[in-house]
Structure 1
Amino acid sequence: MRRRTFVGAVGGSTVAGVAGCLTRDSTPGGGDGDALRIATYPSMVEEGDPAGVWLKEAFESEYPEAEISWTVPENGINTYIERARQDAVDADVYFGLNVDELVRVDDSFDGQLFRSLERDRIEGVDRLRDDLTFGDPNDRVLPYDTGYISLVYDESVLAPPESLDALLDTEYEDTLITQNAQSSDPGLAFLLWTIAEYGADGYLEYWRALRDNGVQILDGWSESYFGSYAEEERPMIVSYSTDQVFHATGDEPDLTRHQIAFPNEQGYENPEGMAIFADSDKADLAADFMAFVLSSEAQAEIARRNVQFPAVADDHVELDESFAQYAHAPAEPVAFTYDDLRGNLDGWIEDWAREFASQ
């Protein structure tokens, strides 16, 4: 399950090294030599059994002359927008890019932060799922996994809401936890889901009704999930549809508080992608890394360690039985494309935050 906060919300604490090659926000000319410098978010390399550690070891085993150097920027993609303005980008690949972040790049930066891909140079792109597209007119990003934002609920307390409208019923008064759309990926995805459902002219009215029905808005996913929801303060939360995979341990796991609800049979699709920085002089090695990430073995490991769905078609990836049993996908995924968000995203978030961010 992806456990990261949104752009600009990463803290500045010290980071432990990953096989001696993880740095926090390294400076230009920082002595990485011929290493492929990959920027990512903290949980890719820092927590538990992260995918980043496996990717480094496996890629370097297959490419003995290569070395991966992970870096976790202080302020996510904003770090590289600012560095690009100063011609000081010190990374080759960005690993963990959402379509909304790509839109933020293009809405706030006049230059080209990422280069267009040479797809014929990247083995495995033909295996990518057709539905996982960033809609980028410049074709700069390849997905490597995807998740679906859904509702997770306690079946001993609630029946699953059949629609987003149902969340306004008295049955669901003071039951829902969500996250700040300014600082949380799931929070932003849920906001975009409501905009898709009610339109740019109607989503704020829906949120006012949610507020009247007692929705609780917390800053980040970790705070809301491992805090309020884990402490059983409320019986429903905006989270990931792979929640049961994360908790299904033992022969008879207790999943009472880990039931998945897809209102309107929908969930918000949120693919993660990888892109090569425009000024990188290691484009060939970066393409090799991308091809490796799309390999069947890497896709299976990323899915297991990130608790997300692979980006390549099912018949190319062998997942364990627990994933097949406990990972749920909505019948009707909802997603905005690049064109949908370009020029609109910041305004939607700002209008929402003006009324609800301090709830």
Structure 2
Amino acid sequence: MRRRDVLKAGAGAGLGLVAGCAGNGGETTTTTPSTTTTATDPYAGELHVATYQPFVDAPSVSPGSWIKEQFEKQYPKATLKWLTPQSELNYFVQRKQAGVGVDADVYVGLNADDLVRVDQELGGDDLFEPIDAGALDNEGHVRDELRFDPKNRAIPFDTGYISLVYNEKKVSNPQTFETLAKPEYASKLLAQNAQTSDSGQAFLLWTIATLGEENYLDYWKRLVDNGARLLDSWSAAYSAYLKERPMVVSYSTDQVYAHRYDQPLAEHQVGFLNDQGYANPEGMARFADTDTPELATAFVDFMLSKEVQSKIPVLNVAFPATDWAEPPESFSKYAHRPPETVTHSYDELKGNLDQWVEQWARQVASN
């Protein structure tokens, strides 16, 4: 699951112009992709798949190399090339705005909020295109509650659930949002800045979904007054959690990591406030400018296959997006699904997201 820390600013601001291409070894180089699809075989040639860098070469877990190997095994005339531009999705938005060709065929790793911002930046100039109904053999296995694009451009391939992670040797599970803001949890919580962190924004959206748009700012004032500490990134907050405080906003797959690295599970307990977890599904979409639509569609379908969906929990430490995945016992035992899933739809985020974050920043992050 992407725990990356990316500034959620306007998609056209301050963006780099060099795309990185990473292969099996995770080595990043500069490249200018070329179209190599043959006229006779739509499943031959190079497929350029863009994603965030940890998906390809994270030091602990990374699905990129395995996905490349398996896809090329299934499509022996195709070569998968990973692209990891520094500014991620924003790189392609800027190219589209500049009237420059988009040098990729598929994007892997966008959330509902990413899609909202892309559409706001580009207006009617679509970056992605819907995949025709019936073109994907495996799409019927996608869990309906994880779908976030009403136009069916972005199709979920995995999801994480935002939760609390706490050290039960030092603090008890607060269990509700209300209890978390009480004096007994003063100076216990670490969270992330909703302007600079995916997990921080997701936690903010969770409070809005559960407490209501009319109440979330008052609640955040209570949290901050109670000593909640905000850091700019998930990694910074988690590092501080391991050293300084007993509770952090994180993901409900935390015990998978803890078990894998022989960490005491008592120090990595998962808490679902109000018996909820905020779902943050990751999607993949086919670029509208792709010159290899059939091969791009085949890749999307491949990502939804039972084999890949069963491997995602191991390699990306995230819940699969389909109903036919068979995660290994080690994942199923230590990854926790919330009793109730909470999330915002595309339509709910459209026209509201920027305002919510800006209001939160004025009251909370600026203090």
Q: Give the alignment's TM-score, normalised by structure 1.
A: 0.92
Matched, 1:269 2:269: no
Match of 2:53 in 1: 42
Instruction: Measure how far apart 1:76 and its partner are.
Output: 2.0
Q: State whether residues 99 and 337 of structure 1, in contact with CA within 8 Å, keep that contact through their aligned partners in structure 2.
A: yes
Aligned pair in 2 of structure 1 residues 24, 146: CA closer, same or farther (>3 Å)? Answer: farther
Q: Distance in 2 between matches of 1:174 and 1:32?
A: 55
Match of 2:332 in 1: 324
**Post-superposition CA distance 1:8-35 (Å, at most 9, x none):** 6899899794237865674xx5447442
Match of 2:301 in 1: 291
Give runs of aligned pairs for residues 87-236 of structure 1, distance below 5 A. Answer: 87-88=99-100, 89-110=102-123, 111-134=125-148, 136-225=149-238, 227-231=239-243, 233-236=244-247
Matched, 1:347 2:361: no
Q: Distance in 2 between matches of 1:42 and 1:174?
A: 34
Q: Distance in 2 between matches of 1:203 and 1:97?
A: 26
Relative to structure 2, which stretch is displaced further, 30-39 or 167-176?
A: 30-39
Match of 2:319 in 1: 309
Q: Which amino acid aligns with 1:283?
A: P
Match of 2:94 in 1: 82
Q: State whether residues 132 and 311 of structure 1, in contact with CA within 8 Å, keep that contact through their aligned partners in structure 2.
A: yes
Q: Distance in 2 between matches of 1:267 and 1:175?
A: 20
Q: Give the alignment's TM-score, normalised by structure 2.
A: 0.90
Q: State whether residues 193 and 231 of structure 2, in contact with CA within 8 Å, keep that contact through their aligned partners in structure 1.
A: yes
Structure 2 gaps, min length 5:
37-44
Runs (4+) of structure 1 moved beyond 6 Å?
Answer: 9-16
Q: Distance in 2 between matches of 1:155 and 1:32?
A: 55
State the identity as a percent: 47
Match of 1:3 in 2: 3
Q: Which amino acid aligns with 1:90?
A: D
Instruction: Measure how far apart 1:137 and its partner are.
Output: 2.8
Match of 1:241 in 2: 252
Q: Distance in 1 between matches of 2:190 and 2:19?
A: 30
**Post-superposition CA distance 1:49-97 (Å, at most 9, x none):** 4101110111011111111111112212221111111232111111001
**Post-superposition CA distance 1:305-354 (Å, at most 9, x none):** 111111110xx222211112111011111000001000110111111122
Q: Distance in 2 between matches of 1:281 and 1:16?
A: 18
Q: Distance in 2 between matches of 1:291 and 1:174?
A: 47
Q: Distance in 1 between matches of 2:304 and 2:190?
A: 35
Q: State whether residues 97 and 274 of structure 1, in contact with CA within 8 Å, keep that contact through their aligned partners in structure 2.
A: yes
Aligned pair in 2 of structure 1 residues 24, 311: CA closer, same or farther (>3 Å)? Answer: farther
What is the number of residues matched between the two proteins? 351
Q: State whether residues 175 and 274 of structure 2, in contact with CA within 8 Å, keep that contact through their aligned partners in structure 1.
A: yes
Q: Which amino acid aligns with 2:140?
A: D
Instruction: Measure how far apart 1:186 and its partner are.
Output: 0.8
Relative to structure 2, which stretch is displaced further, 73-82 or 172-181?
A: 73-82
Q: Which amino acid aligns with 1:70?
A: W
Q: Distance in 1 between matches of 2:25 and 2:315?
A: 21
Matched, 1:67 2:63: no
Q: Distance in 1 between matches of 2:22 and 2:117?
A: 30
Residue number among 45, 54, 58 corresponding to 2:70 in the alignment: 58
Q: Distance in 2 between matches of 1:318 and 1:336?
A: 27
Q: Distance in 1 between matches of 2:150 and 2:304?
A: 22
Q: State whether residues 49 and 83 of structure 2, in contact with CA within 8 Å, keep that contact through their aligned partners in structure 1.
A: yes
Q: Which amino acid aligns with 1:354?
A: R
Q: Distance in 1 between matches of 2:246 and 2:26?
A: 41
Q: The residue matched to 1:351 in structure 2 has which SS?
A: helix
Q: The residue matched to 2:24 in structure 1 has which SS?
A: coil
